[in-house]
Amino acid sequence: MSMKKVTLASLILLSLTACSSGGGSSNGTMNTSEPKATQSEQVKSLSAELEKAKVDLEQKNKELEKVQQEQQQNLTKLNNELIAAKNAANKANSDLAEAKQALAKTKADSKATASELATAKANLANAQQAQQDAEQALAKTEADSKATASELATAKVNLANAQQAQQDAERALAKTEADSKATASELATAKANLANAQQAQQEAEQALAGKTQVINEINKQAKLALEHSGMRGFSIPNVYADGFFDTLQIGLNTIPVLTVTADESDGIISSNHYIYKQNYSHIYSRNNVAFSPSDEPWAGSFRIDRIDGQRTETLPATGNATYTGKAFNTDITGDLNYTVNFTDKMGSGSIRGLADLAEIQLQKGSILSNSIQADAAMQDGTKGKYSLEFFGPNAEEIAGKAYMYKQFSSTVKTNGTTANEYNDPERGTIFGLAAERGEISNK
């Protein structure tokens, strides 16, 4: 409701109030045009409209204040933007002025640069020409110098050659004269040396024949002595004698042995015996290195003679165990690692670090009774076989041998008897195997 309507309603209300309370007619009881009740209702109605108008007025006043606040805020914002615009305009004017100054300076510098550039180009051209002239002069000087030096060097070489030729001729003459005098003396000396050498050879042959005769006589007497005693031979020391084994240490033992036999083809044999001793097992092996009837060098022949010890009667029924020890050929050793599955009755392993040999795989084999027999192989295709047995009350040790169908440069080949056992027309290589068990695991 507008301010005009509120004022009009207030005037009507005041007028009605005055009429109801003011004077009347000359009569003591004047009849009005409307009853008093009707006037009262009109007053109430007008009062209600007046109250409503007041409420509307307050609301409009609040809205007016809000509008005024928003207008004030907008005005403040516009003022700030105007200030910012003025600042930007001022900066733009300042930048424009600086740009104009820079442009003027650039134009001035450009003119100066063009002049300097022309001068620099002229100086460069002059310098290049001077350099070219200098290079030409230098080249001519160097050419003249080289020609002179070459002529001088040639002259020096010719002189040196002439001097050397003269010296060579003088030396040749002197040598010819000396050789002529020395030839007779050298010939006499050579004849004397030849006679001495022939005499020494004859004496050596006689000594060898005498020693061979002595050796043959010793072999003959040894054969007769053995035949009379009923023996085929004896060894010093006797590695199989009672008590000898007890003197050995755990591990690989090397014992030089001299053997006298009744066999004319063997005679006296020089050999090395290799005995690998463990707590419950031992491997006897040997390498024959010389025979008295032979006058030729002998490369040797290694063989495993026998494997003895306390063999295991009852193997563990379950679990896995790893055996670690050595593989050996004469005194050449490598690391043996062998794993046994007692539950599945299977075993396999490897030999590593044996001289310069590649790894030897001991392939999987089955436990039959107290032993395992299976194939062996190398990465280059070399094949072989191995066998081993269990020793000790609870399979504490393994002992056996491995045969490879190949000769190696770093090991000793085997003998003919061993090769025949493996149906090998060529003599291969045999290794002794010995190892001790670790803990049995049931995992």
Domain residue ranges in the chain: 244-441
First to last CA, the chain: 100
3-state secondary structure 92-105: HHHHHHHHHHHHHH
Pairwise CA distance, residues 334 & 356, whole Å:
10
Q: What is the DSSP letter of 203?
A: H
248-279 burial, b for 16+ CB within 10 Å, e for fewer? eeeebbebebebbbbeeebbbbebbbbbbbbe
* Largest separation between any pair of C-alpha atoms in the chain: 206
Q: What is the DSSP letter of 281?
A: E
In one-letter notation, the amino acid at residue 277 is K
Please count the CA atoms within 13 angstroms of the CA of 183 that sit on its side-chain side: 6
Coil vs helix vs strand at 400: strand
By the 10 Å C-beta count (0-12 exposed, 13-18 middle, 19+ buried), 322 is classed as middle
Query: Contact 285/305 with Cβ under 8 angstroms?
Result: yes
**Beta-carbon contacts of residue 258 (< 8 Å; ≥ 6 apart):** 235, 236, 268, 269, 270, 271
Q: What is the pLDDT along the chain (443 residues), one digit of tens a residue?
A: 444 444 555 555 555 454 444 444 444 444 545 566 787 888 888 888 888 888 888 888 788 778 778 877 877 887 787 787 778 778 877 888 887 888 788 778 778 777 888 887 887 788 688 678 767 766 776 676 566 667 767 867 877 887 897 888 788 778 877 877 777 677 778 778 878 877 777 775 666 555 555 455 555 545 444 454 454 444 556 777 778 888 999 999 999 887 766 555 555 778 899 999 999 999 999 998 876 665 665 678 999 999 999 999 999 999 999 999 999 999 999 999 999 999 999 999 999 999 899 999 999 999 999 999 999 999 999 999 999 999 999 999 999 999 999 999 999 999 999 999 999 999 999 999 999 999 999 87
Angle between helices 36-229 and 3-21 (to 10 degrees): 140
pTM for this predicted structure: 0.51
Tell me how many degrees the CA angle 265-266-268 measures, rounded to the nearest 5.
Answer: 135
Chain centre distance of CA 207: 63
Partners of 385 in beta bridges: 375, 403
In one-letter notation, the amino acid at residue 210 is G
Cβ atoms within 10 Å, residue 12: 15
| CATH number, domain 244-441 | 2.40.160.90
Question: What integer pLDDT is reported at residue 265 of this predicted model?
Answer: 52
